């Protein structure tokens, strides 16, 4: 319906839009502007044109960050979404699951700093419990410098993320399963279908919408991932766990290259946006195919 009064409309909209423009849109435009300059934060900025962007395309470390983030997204898709789905499958067909649901969800509530510090201690090569447990189990040769060895560092961080968010996705899927019409499931089991078959052939396809939202969240969360990487390894050792966001923060604050960092920021946002939109379009296209 049309607004009752112009002033009323303004009053309703203004606060939210104003704050948003001031704190998000304007800075984003500002960052875009800064990306065309060279600036160290103290002296005067100098015009750089598209030099920063050209440099980003040649920057091998920057390119490697996207590979790391891709690995991160793929691993978390398995350890968070897939595992969450399986856990939800088990839980939704049982009673008295309060303990399970609550305990697996707790990590989601905790500040990422706590998680990062805790797991850094767990992964500590000399004092952490991971290496100690391996030793106690007689598997000393599997001990590693988890966060210091380029071969294990990235995966170690991915697993921490999985520890946190598998419970989150599990909760999403449990809720989705609970909304499914019980008649379909009951009739299938009467027809002799086993639990696993019901899960795979009926339940999962029926919550397809939730699954795609989950995958989307995983992708966008992955590109934006920062806290764990920053606190646990800060992109180390020597850039092998560097993700776009940590590299960006490093460029701006450790190297003092504000212009270049801004260009990186814009590029990262573009990638994230395209990834999300691309996924959505692919989803919609798949949806259309199904409907034919």
Q: Which of residues 37-96 bind other proteins (CB under 8 A)?
A: 41-43, 51, 55, 58-61, 87, 90-91, 94
**Are the C-beta atoms of 256 and 46 separated by less than 8 Å?**
no
Cα–Cα distance for residue pair 252/258, rounded to 1 Å: 5
111 interacts with other proteins by CB under 8 A: yes
109 belongs to the binding site for other proteins (CB under 8 A)? yes
Indicate the residue among 73 and 265 with the shorter CB distance to other proteins. Answer: 265
Residue with smaller CB distance to other proteins, 97 or 292? 97
Phi, psi of 254 (to 5 degrees): -90, -40
Of the listed pieces 25-33, 68-76, 184-192, 283-291, which binds other proteins according to CB under 8 A? 25-33
Stretch that binds other proteins, among 67-75, 119-127, 181-189, 283-291 (CB under 8 A): 119-127
Residue from 37, 72, 119, 165 binding other proteins (CB under 8 A): 119
245 binding other proteins? (CB under 8 A):
yes
What are the backbone angles phi and psi of residue 225, rounded to the nearest 5°? -55, 135
- Please count the residues of this chain forming the interface with other proteins, following the rule CB under 8 A: 124
* Smallest separation (angstroms) from other proteins to the CB of 85: 13
Q: Is 103 in the site for other proteins (CB under 8 A)?
A: yes
Q: What is the footprint of other proteins within residues 162-181 (CB under 8 A)?
A: 163, 167-168, 171-172, 174-176
CA–centroid distance for 100 within its chain? 23
User: By C-beta, is 253 or 292 nearer to other proteins?
Assistant: 253
Q: Alpha-carbon distance 54 to 234, whole Å?
A: 25
Can you tell me the distance from the alpha carbon of 198 to that of 185, in angstroms, rounded to the nearest whole number?
7
Distance between CA 157 and CA 223 in Å, rounded? 14
Q: Specify which residues 38 forms β-bridges with.
A: 46
Q: Which is nearer to other proteins, 109 or 290 (CB)?
A: 109
Pick from 50, 70, 121, 184: which binds other proteins (CB under 8 A)?
121
| Residues between 201 and 230 with contacts to other proteins, criterion CB under 8 A | 209-210, 213-214, 217, 220, 223-224, 226-227, 230
Helix ranges (DSSP H) in 179-243: 182-190, 195-197, 204-206, 208-224, 227-232
Q: Does 105 bind other proteins (CB under 8 A)?
A: yes
Please give the Cα distance from 226 to 243 (Å, whole number): 8
d(CA 72, CA 77): 8
Site for other proteins in 252-281 (CB under 8 A): 252-258, 261-262, 265-266, 268-269, 272-273, 276
Q: Are 258 and 41 in contact (CB under 8 A)?
A: yes
C-beta separation of 16 from 29 below 8 A: no
The residues in 125-154 that bind other proteins, with binding defined as CB under 8 A, are: 125-129, 132-133, 136, 145-150, 153
């Amino acid at each position: 319906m049309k607004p009752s009064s112009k002033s009323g409309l303004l009053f309703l909209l203004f606060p939210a839009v104003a704050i948003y423009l001031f704190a998000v849109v304007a800075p984003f435009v500002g960052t875009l502007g800064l990306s065309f300059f060279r600036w160290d934060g103290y002296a005067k900025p100098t015009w750089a044109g598209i030099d920063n962007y050209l440099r980003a395309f040649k920057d091998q470390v920057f390119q490697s960050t996207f590979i790391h983030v891709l690995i991160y997204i793929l691993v978390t898709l398995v350890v968070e979404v897939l595992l969450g789905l399986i856990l939800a499958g088990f839980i939704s067909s049982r009673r008295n699951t309060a303990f399970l649901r609550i305990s697996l969800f707790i990590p989601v509530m905790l500040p990422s700093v706590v998680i990062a510090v805790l797991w850094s201690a767990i992964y500590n090569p000399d004092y952490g419990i991971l290496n100690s447990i391996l030793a106690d189990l007689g598997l000393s040769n599997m001990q590693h410098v988890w966060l210091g060895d380029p071969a294990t560092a990235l995966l170690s961080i991915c697993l921490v993320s999985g520890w946190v968010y598998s419970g989150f996705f599990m909760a999403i899927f449990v809720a989705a399963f609970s909304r499914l019409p019980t008649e379909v499931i009951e009739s299938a089991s009467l027809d002799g279908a086993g639990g696993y078959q019901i899960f795979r052939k009926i339940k999962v396809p029926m919550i397809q919408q939730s699954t795609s939202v989950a995958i989307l969240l995983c992708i966008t969360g992955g590109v934006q991932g920062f806290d764990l990487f920053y606190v646990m390894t800060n992109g180390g050792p020597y850039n092998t766990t560097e993700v776009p966001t940590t590299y960006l923060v490093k460029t701006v604050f450790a190297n003092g290259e504000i212009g270049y960092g801004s260009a990186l920021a814009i590029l990262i946002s573009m990638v994230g946006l395209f990834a999300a939109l691309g996924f959505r379009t692919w989803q919609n296209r798949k949806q259309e195919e199904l409907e034919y």
